[in-house]
């Protein structure tokens, strides 16, 4: 029987207010989409599932290339990779209570488009177009914000954001 090598690792996730989360990601040259890139994508999925989360932008693991991974399914069987994503159209509004692996234990309502059409490359460089609504649409918009250095708490009032900053630093002090 041929041996099967399984090589995976969990990646550390940057946490607010780490300034690296504010980096604007750079476009990926399709020539970069090699086996090493796809192994890295697998590590991101494992990191996301372990957290647990439904999406992870490269920015959150201190990789400032323009891509993200998403799986909103409960069975963890709908992996989607978006390289150089672009939103082609948006329609309607929805309010969703959001959380973020980079802002642990904080949740807040955010208003976003209800339906979007997004285009991107997959992990092999093949272009695709996807119409998304509901939670998938929320998650795509949340991850694309990360790629621009933006966090969901940026939509809240400065007062509320300051309260969150204090709560997180207090949490970290008691965890240390």
- Residue 71 binds ligand GNR, judged by CB under 6 A: no
- The entry of ligand GNR, Ni ion, none that residue 140 binds, CB within 5 to 8 Å by partner kind: none
- Of the two residues 90 and 150, which places its CB atom closer to Ni ion in the complex? 150
- Residue 56 binds Ni ion, judged by CB under 5 A: no
Residue 98 and residue 156 in contact, taking contact as beta carbons nearer than 8 Å: no
- Residue 139 binds Ni ion, judged by CB under 5 A: no
| Cα(176)–Cα(171) distance, integer angstroms | 9
| Cα(69)–Cα(62) distance, integer angstroms | 14
Q: Which residue stretch of 31-39, 68-76, 79-87, 98-106 sits at the interface with Ni ion (rule: CB under 5 A)?
A: 98-106
- Residue 66 binds ligand GNR, judged by CB under 6 A: no
- Residue 139 binds ligand GNR, judged by CB under 6 A: yes
Structure tokens belonging to residue 22? 């504010």
Structure tokens belonging to residue 77? 């069987």
- Residue 138 binds Ni ion, judged by CB under 5 A: no
| Cα(136)–Cα(144) distance, integer angstroms | 12
Q: Which residue stretch of 4-12, 86-94, 95-103, 157-165 sits at the interface with ligand GNR (rule: CB under 6 A)?
A: 95-103
Instruction: Identify whether 93 is a catalytic site residue.
Output: no
The vertex-61 CA angle with 88 and 48, nearest 5°, equals: 75
- Residue 100 binds Ni ion, judged by CB under 5 A: yes
- Residue 100 binds ligand GNR, judged by CB under 6 A: yes
- Of the two residues 33 and 137, which places its CB atom closer to Ni ion in the complex? 137
Instruction: Cite the DSSP H helix spans in 10-133.
Output: 35-50
| Cα(133)–Cα(127) distance, integer angstroms | 20
Q: Which residue stretch of 32-40, 52-60, 80-88, 153-161 sits at the interface with ligand GNR (rule: CB under 6 A)?
A: 52-60
| Cα(154)–Cα(20) distance, integer angstroms | 15
- Residue 14 binds Ni ion, judged by CB under 5 A: no
Q: Could you give the count of Cα atoms lying within 13 Å of 101 in the half-sphere of its Cβ?
A: 23
Q: Which of 14, 44, 54, 83 binds ligand GNR (CB under 6 A)?
A: 54
Residues annotated catalytic, as ranges:
143
């Amino acid at each position: 029987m041929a041996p099967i090598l399984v090589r995976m690792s969990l990646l550390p996730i940057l946490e607010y207010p780490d300034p690296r989360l504010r980096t604007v990601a750079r476009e990926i040259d399709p020539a970069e989409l090699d086996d090493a890139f796809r192994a890295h994508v697998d590590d991101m999925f494992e990191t996301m599932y372990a957290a647990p989360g439904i999406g992870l932008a490269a920015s959150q693991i201190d990789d400032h290339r323009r891509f993200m991974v998403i799986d909103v399914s409960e069975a963890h069987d709908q992996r989607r990779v978006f390289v150089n994503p672009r939103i082609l159209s948006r329609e309607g509004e929805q309010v969703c209570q959001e959380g973020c692996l980079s802002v642990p234990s904080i949740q807040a309502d955010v208003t976003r488009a209800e339906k979007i059409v997004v285009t991107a490359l997959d992990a092999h460089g093949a272009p695709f177009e996807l119409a998304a609504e509901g939670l998938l649409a929320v998650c795509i918009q949340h991850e694309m914000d990360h790629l621009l250095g933006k966090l969901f708490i940026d939509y809240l009032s400065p007062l509320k954001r300051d309260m969150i900053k204090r709560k997180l630093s207090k949490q970290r002090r008691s965890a240390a």
